[in-house]
Amino acid sequence: MKIILKNICLVLMGLIWVVDSAMAQESDSEDPQLEVSVMDFDTFMKFVSEHHPLSKSAELRLKESELLEQKAKGGFDPKLYAESSEKRFDDKRYYQHSSAGVKIPTWLGLELQAGVDQSVGEYINPESKTPDGGLYYAGLSMNLLRGLTLDKRRLERKKAQQYETYNEEERKIRLNKLYQEAGNSYWNWFVAYNILDTYHKSLELSTERFEQIKRNSELGDKPALDTLIAKIQVQEQEMALKDAEIKYYKATQELGTYMWFNGSIPLALSDNVTPEALEKVLLEAPKLIEDVNVDSLLENHPIIKQNQTKIDMLMLEQRWSKEQLKPNLNLKYNVLSENVLSQDGSRAFSPLDNYKWGVSFEMPLFLRKERAGVKISELKIEEQNYANQSKQQELVAKVKVQLQTIQNNLDQLDLYSQTMNNYGSLLTAEQRLYSVGEGSLFLVNSRESNYIKAQVDWIKLFGKTRINVIDYEFISGTSDFIELKNEMESF
């Protein structure tokens, strides 16, 4: 009995351990973290490109195109058909009609067909009467006027091919927008981090100076007023640091909205993750974009190419509308035979002796519906052309403005860099004078505040320049990460 109880306890303990382990794994998976210490811009953007839900969603456009193509091809699938009907009354079989066959649509507009009909009974219409073994037939039907060059099946196939181009450009547009928003978020985070780091360093220096002045004041080497001035400077730096911490927290949270795994699991950005060092980023600072042919640049813009595809789709609709102006003249021809093969093995079908054919004609007298359809398609094409011209001019203007903005930002960065270095030199000189008793702490604090402000302004302008470069890539449709994603998907 003791052994049984012991075994039961061991089993229960094992079950508890399994449940605890599963719950621990589940809790760990609820809030996974990105395990990196330094995240540079390229790494971040590649991660967004591969895992963000909107990136995954954009890829669905390609799958939709494949399915539309498959659906359009389905219009050319062969079809089997069969039907049977029978009438019995008062112990008499009036008739029994049966038929079966296959229809094969073709890209040329012809529809091939073959089958067998059988009609038996006491009261059969003479024109429906068939041999006892059935009547075999094989032939074709085709439109000789309307539908000769373009019918509904071929129209749907061409539409599917155009939708493939349209969806590919739509995918690029969505990815382009995602990369712009994600890239801007990264550089806002980068700026917030470096400003926070600047205030951290300045607070350390201000605190160290305050402690030194406090000790010197206690020894009588410095006036007590300097201690108060130094303390105020420390407090101002602390307030600036708190404000920078809030902005960095907001930037971190915004950046975290772009961190996903496999499109469905949000990732938490670890507190110890930092952007790439400012010194390293400076080596890859954006250069002036020169010799840009805006007109040729926009020829491959996703929006322009998508709008051109809209024109092509409307022109296809116009072609279909013009096709409706033609009369509907349909020809059917079938050769007939009692047997597929004759008894001696020769060909049983005799196209000149045994056949069935027919022709049908239909045409509206006024063609008001058809002519209106053509006019409507012309208006739509004209409207889309106007929209395309307007959008192209809008993009040209935006690209030129963005290029000029980047150029001005780069010029300003040089000026800000010189100004920042000059403020640093003034601060160093004033600190040296104060250390030998010839300067004033007020001037030291003033020089330090100006130097810190110059650093912060330079960092903001640097981040703004990187954002402007990303905006330029978005407006011009030249994001490197779209091409990178295309290359990744080709493997």
User: Looking at 271-404, which runs of residues are DSSP E strands?
Assistant: 274-275, 328-337, 355-362
* The pLDDT of residue 292 is above 90: no
Question: DSSP state, 40?
Answer: -
Amino acid 13: pLDDT? 52
Mean pLDDT of 60-68: 91
Of 91-105, 345-359, 390-404, least confident by mean pLDDT is 345-359
Q: Which of 20, 24, 43, 442 is nearest to 273 (CA)?
A: 43
Mean pLDDT of 37-59: 89
φ/ψ of residue 137, rounded to 5: -145, 155
Question: And the tokens for 155?
Answer: 């129209």
* The pLDDT of residue 340 is above 80: no
Mean pLDDT of 325-349: 78
pLDDT higher at 427 or 24: 427
Give the pLDDT band (50/70/90) at residue 35: low
Give pLDDT tens digits for 179-193: 999 999 999 999 999
Mean pLDDT of 306-333: 95
DSSP per position, 49-115: HHH-HHHHHHHHHHHHHHHHHHHHHGGGS-EEEEEEEEEEETTEEEEEEEEEEEEEE-TTS-EEEEE
Give pLDDT tens digits for 89-141: 888 888 889 999 999 999 888 999 999 999 988 888 888 888 888 899 999 99
Q: Name the percent of the chain lying above pLDDT 90.
A: 54
Amino acid 243: pLDDT? 96
Architecture of domain 38-72+154-315+373-490: Up-down Bundle (1.20)
Q: What is the pTM of this model?
A: 0.81
Q: Which of 456, 432, 453 is nearest to 444 (CA)?
A: 432
Give the pLDDT band (50/70/90) at residue 289: low
Give the pLDDT band (50/70/90) at residue 288: low
Give pLDDT tens digits for 223-244: 888 888 889 999 999 999 999 9
Mean pLDDT of 455-463: 95
Mean pLDDT of 334-354: 71
Amino acid 130: pLDDT? 86
Amino acid 441: pLDDT? 86
What does the mean pLDDT of the chain come to? 85
Amino acid 305: pLDDT? 93
* The pLDDT of residue 197 is above 90: yes
Question: And the tokens for 363?
Answer: 């045409």
Q: What are the boundaries of each domain within the chain?
A: 38-72+154-315+373-490, 78-108+110-145+328-362
DSSP per position, 134-197: -EEEEEEEEESSTTSS--HHHHHHHHHHHHHHHHHHHHHHHHHHHHHHHHHHHHHHHHHHHHHH
Give the pLDDT band (50/70/90) at residue 481: low
* The pLDDT of residue 11 is above 60: no
Amino acid 490: pLDDT? 44
Give pLDDT tens digits for 140-159: 999 999 999 999 999 999 99
> Do 316 and 158 contact (CB within 8 A), yes or no?
yes
Amino acid 182: pLDDT? 94
Of 23-32, 91-100, 120-129, 436-445, least confident by mean pLDDT is 23-32
CA gap 262, 59 in Å, rounded: 13
Going by DSSP bridges, is the β-strand pair 355-362/328-337 parallel, antiparallel, or unpaired?
Answer: antiparallel
